[in-house]
Copies of this chain bind each other. A is one copy, B any other.
Amino acid sequence: MKETKVSSIGERALISRLSAIFNAPEGKERIQKGILAGAGSDDCAVLDLKGEDCLVVTTDMLHRTTDFPAEMTPWQMGWMSAAVNLSDIAAMGAEPTGILMAIGMPSDSEIAFIEELARGIQACADFCGTAVIGGDIDTHAELTITGTALGRVKKSQLLLRRGAKPGDLVCITGYTGTAGAALKAVQTKKCVSEAVLKALFEPIPRTKEARKLAESGAVTSMMDTSDGLAMSLYDLSRQSKVGFMIRENALPVLPEVRQFASGPGELLEFALYTGGDFELIFTVDPGRLKKVQNICNLTIIGECTKYEAGIMLESPECRLTAIKQLGYQQLKA
C-alpha cells in the first residue's frame, strides 16, 4: 500500500519534505536575505542583524493531551511553554530578548486557570531575564500553546550544533535522566521527591550558564538535551561530523534517580534515552577547559572521536556498546 498519511512516514521524513519546499530560495539568495541558518539543523534559526550581532528565533507548539501530564498545574503548563522556547535560545549561547505566546483555549476554560498559566509563562520569562512581548488568544477545543522566543548574540559567540572536533571534551550541565525518572514515577504512581518532579514539570532553561559558556570562547558546539542525551549526541554528531565516546561511569545521575531505577538497564534508559531535561550538552576545546570549569555545575562525560567511530558508550568494565538513536517520545503514558 502506498504511504500517503503523515503518520506513515514519521516526523523526521516529513520535516525533510517540508524543508525541501521551504528552502526553495537557496544559498546566495538566503544569505542576501540575512538568513544565516534555517532552524532545520539547529535549535534556532539565525538572522543576520548586519552589525556584530545576530538574532536567533525558535517556535514550539504544545498541546494539553500530548505535552502536559495530567498532574501538571496550569502554572507549570505556562512555565513549561516558555521554558521549551527559552531553552532553545540558551542552546545557541544567546541572551533572550522576548517571547510571544499564542494560546488557543477551550471557551469554557476557567479565567483563573488561564491567569495561572499566564503567571507561569511570566515567571519563566522573568527568571530568564526577559519578558512576554506579544501573543495571540483564540478559542480552541484543546488547550494549545505556541511560544516563539527571540534572542540576540554576537556572531563570534553564536554556538551551533556544528563545530565540535575530535579530541574535544563532551560536557553537560546539571543531571541527566531526572525528568525521565519523574515521568516514570508519575505514570506508575510511585513516589519521588518534589525536586525530581520539578525537573519534569518546571524545567529550568540554562540561560545564564549558556551566556557564560558562549562568552568563554572555549565551547565548540552546544545544544539542549530536551529530547534526551542520546538524541542530542546524534544531532551534534550529524552536524559536527564527529563521533563520541561517552563514559557510563561519568554520567551525572541524581542519587535518588539511581535508587528509583529498577536496575542498571533502566538507569541507563533514564540517563540516555528519556527527554525532558533542559540541560546543555556542549563540547570544549581541551586546551581551554579551565575557562569553563568554574562557570557552572558541569560534568565531563566523554570526548569527541572521529565520525566513523560512531557514538559509543564505555561501561565501567571498559566494554563498548553503540548508543542507539532513541529519545524523547511525546509525553504519552
Complex interface: chain B residues within 8 A of A110 (CB)? 4-6
A209 to chain B, nearest CB (A): 20
A55 touches B58 (CB 8 A): no
Chain A residues 8 to 39 lying within 8 A of chain B, measured CB to CB, are 8-9, 11, 14-15, 17-18, 21-22, 24-25, 30, 33-35, 38-39
Partner of A63, one of B97, B111, B138: B138
Encoded as 1 (CB less than 8 Å from any B CB) or 0, chain A from 289 to 319 comes to: 0000000000000000000000000000000
Contact A134:B21 (CB < 8 A) given known A108-B5, A111-B14, A140-B144: no
Encoded as 1 (CB less than 8 Å from any B CB) or 0, chain A from 131 to 172 comes to: 111111111111010101010000000000000000000000
Contact A114:B14 (CB < 8 A) given known A5-B107, A39-B133, A47-B97: yes
Interface size bracket, A side: 35 or more
Encoded as 1 (CB less than 8 Å from any B CB) or 0, chain A from 105 to 122 comes to: 101111110110011011
Chain A residues 64 to 108 lying within 8 A of chain B, measured CB to CB, are 66, 97-98, 100-105, 107-108
Complex interface: chain B residues within 8 A of A146 (CB)? 59, 61, 102, 136, 146, 148
* Cβ-based interface call for A266 (8 A): no
Complex interface: chain B residues within 8 A of A133 (CB)? 35, 38-39, 45, 47, 57
A122 touches B59 (CB 8 A): no
Partner of A44, one of B17, B108, B114, B134: B134
Please, how many angstroms separate the alpha-carbon atoms of A218 and B140 in the complex? 41
* Cβ-based interface call for A49 (8 A): yes
Please, how many angstroms separate the alpha-carbon atoms of A7 and B104 in the complex? 13
A115 to chain B, nearest CB (A): 6
Complex interface: chain B residues within 8 A of A59 (CB)? 100-102, 134-136, 146, 148
Partner of A134, one of B57, B103, B105, B131: B57
* Cβ-based interface call for A51 (8 A): yes
- The residue among A38, A114, A132 with the most chain B CB atoms within 10 A of its own CB is A132
Partner of A118, one of B7, B22, B126, B141: B22
Contact A61:B144 (CB < 8 A) given known A18-B114, A51-B51, A98-B47: yes
A21 touches B115 (CB 8 A): yes
Please, how many angstroms separate the alpha-carbon atoms of A100 and B85 in the complex? 13
* Cβ-based interface call for A237 (8 A): no
A134 touches B38 (CB 8 A): yes
B25 touches A131 (CB 8 A): yes
Please, how many angstroms separate the alpha-carbon atoms of A98 and B54 in the complex? 13
* Cβ-based interface call for A60 (8 A): yes
Closest 10 A/B residue pairs (Cβ)? A39-B134, A146-B146, A45-B134, A22-B132, A61-B102, A45-B133, A7-B107, A148-B148, A21-B118, A59-B100
Given A22-B122, A136-B146, output 20 extra A-B contacts at Cβ < 8 Å.
A5-B109, A5-B110, A6-B110, A18-B137, A21-B118, A24-B126, A25-B126, A33-B129, A33-B130, A38-B133, A57-B148, A57-B150, A59-B135, A59-B136, A59-B148, A60-B102, A60-B136, A63-B138, A66-B140, A102-B146
